[in-house]
């Protein structure tokens, strides 16, 4: 088993790179980044209320404009974001639907961003650009450019826990280091050893895992110098529906 003590990340245009595999305790990139995301040491989420005091059952989230979005989209409203209850979304792919369930109490700001992007159709008709199928078992999606360099034009803080693990079914954010979340996320289709440096915001059901496994079974082209590559399957997200 290769050393995987620090491997998953996302790229921002020009200066950032995205999820993948790299031997050593340093990486997991989407386009050949060499910057490893940092690990959290607290059991409490790192995202805190950052605006005026929020209403009961909500938090305030900060979304910081960074670069131009890969596709026209507005940042989410960060005020009074729901922080209780669960919500589901269905990612419809060329191989079938992937249902994910999200717990607002654990990662409210991440879920708020994902739902906002989904409702604005940011993910519709995009392709998952990276598959890692050795050591890590991950399909990375969420960049409309399909190159691993695109994002929504804003970033936000991590919501990580020291106890986070990445078994089959995990849905988590790719990043380019601490507090650089954007739109790119990864789907774990087999148990994967990763440090708790990536915000886990959802879980797939068994049928969804089977869909990702089917995409992964077609292999990848080994085109990424850091490991993994473009899926040979079209791996297309047709749409994302909420609720």
Cβ pair 215, 96 in contact under 8 A: no
The tokens 């607290």 sit on which residue? 42
Whether the pLDDT of residue 126 is over 70: the answer is yes
Rounded (10°) CA dihedral 49, 45, 65, 9: 180
Determine the pLDDT at residue 54: 78
Predicted confidence band of residue 66 (pLDDT cuts 50, 70, 90): confident
d(CA 60, CA 164): 23
d(CA 170, CA 172): 6
Strands (E), 142-188: 154-155, 170-173, 185-188
Determine the pLDDT at residue 183: 98
* Average confidence score pLDDT of the chain: 83
SS3 state of residue 210: helix
Q: What is the pLDDT of residues 166-205, one digit of tens each?
A: 999 999 999 999 999 999 999 999 999 999 999 999 999 9
The per-residue DSSP string of 85-108 comes to SEEEEEEEETTEEEEEEEETTT-H
d(CA 65, CA 84): 26
Element (DSSP H or E) covering residue 201: strand 200-204
Predicted confidence band of residue 29 (pLDDT cuts 50, 70, 90): very low
Cβ pair 62, 75 in contact under 8 A: no
Determine the pLDDT at residue 52: 65
Query: Rg of the chain over CA atoms, in angstroms?
Result: 16
Q: What is the CATH number of domain 58-67+82-242?
A: 2.40.100.10
Per the DSSP assignment, residues forming a β-bridge with 88 are: 101
Which among 31, 39, 37, 46 is positioned nearest to 7, based on CA atoms? 37
The tokens 């992937």 sit on which residue? 98
Please report, for the chain, the start and end positions of each structural domain, with discontinuous segments joined by +.
58-67+82-242
Rounded (10°) CA dihedral 45, 103, 164, 99: -140
d(CA 162, CA 235): 31
Cβ pair 110, 89 in contact under 8 A: no
Full-model pTM = 0.82
Q: What is the mean pLDDT of the segment spanning 59-88?
A: 96
């Amino acid at each position: 088993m290769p050393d995987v003590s620090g491997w998953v990340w996302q790229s921002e245009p020009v200066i950032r790179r995205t999820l993948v595999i790299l031997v050593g305790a340093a990486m997991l990139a989407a386009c050949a980044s060499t910057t490893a995301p940092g690990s959290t040491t607290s059991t409490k989420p790192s995202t805190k209320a950052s605006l005026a005091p929020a209403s009961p059952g909500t938090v305030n989230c900060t979304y910081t404009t960074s670069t131009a979005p890969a596709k026209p989209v507005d940042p989410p409203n960060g005020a009074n974001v729901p922080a209780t209850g669960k919500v589901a979304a269905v990612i419809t792919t060329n191989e079938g639907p992937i249902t994910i369930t999200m717990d607002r109490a654990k990662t409210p700001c991440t879920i708020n961003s994902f739902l906002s992007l989904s409702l604005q159709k940011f993910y519709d008709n995009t392709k998952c650009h990276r598959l890692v199928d050795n050591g890590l078992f991950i399909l990375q999606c969420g960049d409309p450019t399909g190159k691993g360099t695109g994002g929504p034009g804003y970033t936000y803080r991590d919501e990580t826990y020291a106890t986070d693990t990445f078994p089959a079914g995990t849905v988590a954010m790719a990043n380019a280091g601490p507090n650089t979340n954007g739109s790119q996320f990864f789907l774990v289709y087999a148990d994967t050893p990763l440090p708790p440096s990536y915000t886990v915001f959802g879980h797939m059901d068994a049928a969804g895992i089977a869909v990702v496994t089917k995409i992964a079974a077609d292999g990848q082209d080994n085109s990424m110098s850091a490991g993994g590559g473009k899926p040979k399957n079209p791996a297309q997200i047709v749409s994302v529906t909420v609720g």
